[in-house]
Structure 1
Amino acid sequence: MSKPDHSDEQLVKMSLVEHLSELRKRLIIVAVFFLATSSISFQFVRKIADQLMALGNGFRFVYLAPSELFMQYFYLSIICGVVLTSPVIVYEIWRFICPGLKKQEKRAICYALLSGFAFFALGAVFAYYVMVPIMLQFFLNMSSGISIEPMISFANYVGFISSTILTFGLVFEMPVVVMTLTRLGLLKPKWLTKNRGAAILVIFVVAAIITPPDVVSQTLVAVPMVILYELSVVLSKAIFVRRQNRQQQLEA
Structure 2
Amino acid sequence: MTTDLDTLVTALYVKIDDKIGGTRRPGRPPLLSDSELICLAVAQALLGHHSEARWLRFAHAHLSGMFPYLPERPGYGYRASHSRFFWGLRLYLVCTPAGMPIMWALANPKIGEREVLAAMLEIDAKLVADRDGVLLISDKGFASKPFEETLAKQGIELLRPSRKREKQRHGEPMLKKVRQLIESVNDTLKGQLDLEHHGGRTFEGVAVRVAQRILAMAAAIWHNNKTDAPITRSLIAYDH
TM-score range (shorter-chain normalised) is under 0.3
What TM-score, normalized by structure 1, do the two folds share?
0.23
Whichever of the two has the greater Rg, that structure is 1
Judging by fraction of residues, say which structure has more helix: 1
User: Higher RCO, 1 or 2 (CA under 8 Å, sep at least 6)?
Assistant: 2
Judging by fraction of residues, say which structure has more strand: 2
What TM-score, normalized by structure 2, do the two folds share?
0.24
